[in-house]
Structure 1
Amino acid sequence: MDRNTLTGLVLMMALLLGYQWYMAPTDEEVAQWEAEQARLTAEEDSTAAADYAASQAALNATAQLQAASENDGNLNPELDAELRRRFGEFGPGVIGTDRDLVMSNDQVRVTFNTRGGLPVAATLQDGYTRYGGDEPVSLWVREQSDMNVAWDVPGVGRVGFQDLHFKPISEGPTQLVLESDLGDNNAIRVVHKLEGYQVKTDINFMGVERLTERQRLFTWNALGQRNEKGLQW
């Protein structure tokens, strides 16, 4: 390496260090940035807390009205008005009790719940077990699974299966028919058929097609189980 090359490298390093020093924020700027980030975080936390509190208050109010209706055996007019305000024509379908229903064969056991009418858990029954134990293979974590069919109702907002209760019309080991009664001969009927490892589902919107047909959206957010030996997690 000759003298000119060495001088050029030294100058470039000096320029780079000088640029970094010149562009580095001052202690005051760093403090201002940290304060701004803390303020934004506090605002987000406050908004989230307020939204959660409002949501819980609405749920509690509805639960109290529903309990009162169940006690006297009739639909409380106050509850009916509140449900229609929050869920539109789907309000009557909210009334119900959470209960598990099961379909099973030699391959898999699938659990449904009357709230939402969709699968909430699935466990293999074909003899396979989780790695390192004797537990049967569970396909996902029930507490961290959210399956839904939803749509937007004008003047109300988003409504979905998770807001509704579905009563069993018929129950069998490999077929389950559920229906959410919306009143005035309107309903949503769901038919589940278990075939091998698969659940085939047919959904029929009766009398409310015009309110749902354009924007029906199926979503499923779930946390899978670690059932096999593999890469480190």
Structure 2
Amino acid sequence: MTRVLALLLLLLALPLAACGNDDGEKETLTVFAAASLTTTFEQLEKQYEDDHPDVDVRLSFAGSSDLVAQITEGAEADVFASADDKNMAKLVEADLAAGDPAEFATNTLVIAVPPGNPAGVKTLADLARDDLQLVLCAPEVPCGNAARTVADGAGLTLEPVSEEQSVTDVLAKVESGEADAGLVYVTDVKGAGDKVEGIELPEAASAVNHYPLVVVEGSDHADLAQEWVDLVLGAEGQQVFADAGFGPPAS
């Protein structure tokens, strides 16, 4: 009787033990990525997890400057993907890049306006109008740096009513009607569908954003992190970026 009872208890415990082992075996891959990569990286997350059923990918999106600051201050990340070379250089200078960063996409600015373009914005020069409620990214954020490069090249002084810490925040203010216009990426306007309209910006060619990524030095999951990098750089990843409106890497 004792042996039968012991066997029954063992059989009852097996499903619970299996669940515990499953959870224990899942590894977490933490990817810090520029806010403009949200849609594409979420697609790649699904692909990666399908190929790695024992891995849970955790994506953290924000402005590149905020993300690199978090990593240099000790935040745990396995991969960093920046919307520009400047913020990636900060990671490299801090000896927190495991290897050489690899460029995987490019992007350019476009003017985003609410549906119907109520303020009648047509050109970059219109963004300097006194009556316009303009929103830009902050100067330290890649989209803000690009906006100022474009404006300086055209001899314009832009005075936004607010400066945001990520391009998605700029887009949100245009979508909600809080702003008459904002400078965002081509990919943001494409991803927003009919929530905004995009006005092409020929001057944007002077400020192309280059997107590099790298495995973070000290990652506990360096092999898995490199496999994420390989997915981004590979044919599947590159197709995802092309479909979203990103340009190909310049190098």
TM-score grouping bracket, smaller chain normalisation: under 0.3
Greater share of helix residues, 1 or 2? 2
Greater share of strand residues, 1 or 2? 1
Q: Larger relative contact order (C-alpha < 8 A, sep ≥ 6)?
A: 2
